[in-house]
């Protein structure tokens, strides 16, 4: 790996030791693989957990993207190999904090929890420390003491929308160093919204209601993962709404062969300007631009501010639009939403009727009804704070690119996108001094190119060991690929192993198999019949949208894209959490 660049500790530098990482497989066979390790200088052992696995974005990030994410979070994060890691050593060493950490990790990604437990079971790597006064925010979530009131969600959404509108207005006049001061101040507003206790309580209320329903109804009725059906077509799910709106765009385009032909030939991003020249092109252009007005800030890997957005590269949407034109009937969006809503209502009535026939059934039914109302009130909101964050990131990016254009015109930078290879604070210094280290940018570009070939571990130690974790399940057939059951149902289909959504060719009956999905993958969910990912948990994007659309899904399947062949027939057991490879 390229040598670490010196003097980059502030605001998200790339300092990391390039070591050979020892991976201990579940059968204890050592495997060596190169991955940098976050730099420390205290001589102590450390345990790091990947941020990318929790955020469903395990790709390498450029320095500006890393530093923005570090400026957005309330907890220190270390970078290595173009990825971010959280040091959880203190929590593991503290008896009071350890249980909370393991519980949170276990709900989100059991492989991480198992890896951490493996390290603890050795007894010698993490030195136990007596508990003292808390030094930071608690590991666990805040208590979900919030009433079940739809007006709360509407108010939270309106606050986020109003704040983004104010940002778009006020940032226009900012240039030079004052722009960076303004963004730093506005990042505090972003953090206030992201970590608002009321917002956190709303998110946790939906999650805890879903957990309660799954646990209690399996105990009372033997129903597995019943919340999957009960949370279909919930209000205010901005990501699910985005996918359905793209179906509406396809409905506008479908009747016009000239528009469809132009989209098939679109190889660059000026196709929108050519649309008005063909029959049906004016209304098609308006439909696409309207969609981009609402969702143009999204893209694959959207937590990295440097990634090209749909609004910057609309051609990335063309494959999804054409797939909808070819494979989906007109009016499907509303029919799909209505059908899922009615299915959730039907399931609710069935459950309540069955509960009332049990001993103590009236009380059980009343408790269940309250929890169903609660999960349907709050479940959709979970996707909104991240949407608000990505809206803000795009506003910041547009302003920074205007500043980069000024620096290129002044001869300071050779290319506008050179700013992506500087941290935020380094770029601030360039704007103040009009001086840049071109050699540093060159080294960063070389380093990023090498990082793209690396696969980040979920859990990494300061000794260079990757502990992969295991599910340790005994309730699945031999020879299957085990993962997390996140969206109920069983379906057989043709595996489509996809690395890049923009290049995906998906059709009815296909099962999407990929490393991870984020909101930008939502349009693909409208065509497929099931989902399998290597990364994810019950409340990450792929799981949430799969449940919303009624797609069986298994996530967290290690090495799925390597073990499943493109075109292979597979059976996805979304209720039980495994994938069967068919002959």
First-last CA distance in the chain: 41
> What 8-state DSSP symbol labels residue 315?
G
Question: What is the Cα–Cα distance from 548 to 545, expressed in whole angstroms?
Answer: 5
Pairing state between β 47-50 and 83-87: antiparallel
Closest to 428 (Cα-Cα) out of 181, 189, 190, 191:
181
If one counts every other C-beta atom within 10 angstroms of the C-beta of residue 145, the result is 9
Residue matched to tokens 């101040």: 185
| Whole-angstrom distance, CA of residue 552 vs CA of residue 73 | 33
Indicate which residues carry an active-site annotation: 541
HSE-CB at 323 with a 13 A cutoff on CA atoms is: 23
107 burial (CB, 10 Å; 0-12 / 13-18 / 19+) is middle
Closest CA to 189 of 372, 392, 470: 392
Instruction: Give the CA diameter of the chain.
Output: 79
Question: Which 3 state secondary structure label does DSSP give 47?
Answer: strand
CA gyration radius, the chain? 24
What does the block give as tokens for 171?
A: 């940032």
Q: Please, are residues 537 and 353 in contact by the beta-carbon 8 Å criterion?
A: no
Phi, psi of 263 (to 5 degrees): -65, -35
Please enumerate in sequence order all residues whose Cβ is within 8 A of that of 344, keeping only pairs 6 or more positions apart, or say none. 229, 230, 231, 232, 233, 376
Cα–Cα distance, 426 to 290 (Å, whole number): 36
Which residues on neighbouring strands pair with residue 35, listed in sequence order? 19
Beta bridge partners of 579: 481, 572
**H or E stretch at 352:** helix 332-356
Residue with tokens 């066979």: 29
CA distances from 111 to 94, 210, 577 (A): 21, 21, 14
């Amino acid at each position: 790996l390229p040598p670490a660049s010196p003097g980059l500790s502030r605001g998200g530098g790339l300092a990391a030791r390039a070591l050979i990482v020892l991976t201990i497989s579940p059968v204890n066979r050592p495997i060596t693989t190169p991955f940098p390790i976050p730099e420390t200088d205290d001589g102590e052992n450390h345990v790091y957990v990947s941020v990318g696995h929790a955020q469903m974005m395990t790709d390498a990030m450029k320095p500006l993207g890393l530093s923005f994410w570090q400026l957005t979070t309330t907890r220190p994060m270390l970078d290595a190999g173009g990825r971010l890691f959280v040091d959880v050593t203190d929590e593991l060493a503290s008896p009071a904090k350890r249980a909370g950490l393991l519980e949170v990790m276990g709900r989100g990604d059991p492989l991480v929890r198992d890896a951490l437990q493996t390290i603890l079971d050795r007894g010698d790597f993490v030195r136990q420390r007596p508990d003292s006064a808390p030094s930071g925010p608690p590991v666990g979530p805040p208590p979900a003491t919030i009433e079940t009131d739809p007006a709360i969600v509407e108010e939270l959404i309106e606050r986020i929308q109003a704040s983004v509108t104010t940002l778009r207005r006020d940032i226009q006049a900012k240039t030079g160093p004052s722009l960076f001061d303004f963004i730093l101040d506005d990042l505090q507003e972003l953090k206030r919204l992201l970590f608002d206790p009321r917002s956190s309580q709303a998110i946790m209320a939906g999650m805890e209601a879903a957990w309660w329903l799954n646990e209690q109804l399996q105990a009372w009725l033997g129903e597995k993962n019943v919340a999957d059906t009960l949370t279909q077509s919930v209000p205010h799910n901005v990501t699910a709404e985005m996918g359905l709106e793209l179906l509406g765009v396809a409905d506008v385009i479908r009747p016009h062969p000239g528009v469809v032909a132009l989209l098939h030939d679109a190889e660059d991003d000026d196709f929108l300007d050519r649309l008005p020249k063909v029959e049906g092109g004016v209304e098609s252009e308006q439909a696409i631009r309207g969609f981009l007005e609402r969702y143009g800030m999204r893209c694959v890997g959207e937590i990295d501010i440097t990634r090209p957005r749909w609004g910057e590269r609309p051609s990335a949407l063309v494959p999804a639009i054409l797939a909808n034109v070819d494979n989906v009937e007109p009016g499907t969006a509303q029919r799909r939403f209505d059908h899922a809503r009615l299915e959730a209502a039907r399931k609710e009535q069935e459950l309540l009727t069955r509960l009332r026939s049990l001993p103590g059934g009236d009380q059980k039914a009343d408790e269940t009804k309250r929890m169903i109302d609660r999960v349907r009130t709050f479940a959709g909101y979970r996707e909104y704070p991240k949407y608000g964050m990505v809206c803000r990131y795009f506003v910041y990016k547009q302003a920074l690119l205007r500043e980069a254009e000024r620096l290129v015109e002044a001869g300071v930078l050779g290319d506008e996108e050179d700013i992506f290879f500087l941290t935020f604070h380094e770029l601030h210094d360039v704007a103040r001094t009009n001086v840049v280290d071109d050699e540093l940018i060159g080294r960063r570009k070389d380093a990023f190119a090498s990082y793209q070939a690396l696969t980040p571990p979920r859990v990494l130690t300061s000794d260079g060991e990757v502990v992969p974790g295991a599910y340790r399940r005994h309730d699945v057939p031999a020879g299957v690929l085990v993962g997390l059951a996140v969206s109920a149902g069983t379906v057989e289909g043709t595996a489509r192993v996809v690395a890049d959504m923009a290049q995906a060719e998906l059709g009815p009956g296909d099962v999407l198999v990929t490393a991870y999905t984020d909101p930008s993958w939502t349009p693909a969910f409208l065509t497929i019949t099931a989902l399998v990912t290597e990364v994810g948990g019950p409340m990450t994007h792929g799981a949430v949208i799969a449940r919303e659309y009624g797609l069986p899904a298994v996530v967290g399947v290690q090495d799925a894209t390597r073990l499943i062949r493109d075109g292979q027939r597979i059976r996805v057991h979304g209720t039980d959490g495994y994938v069967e490879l068919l002959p």
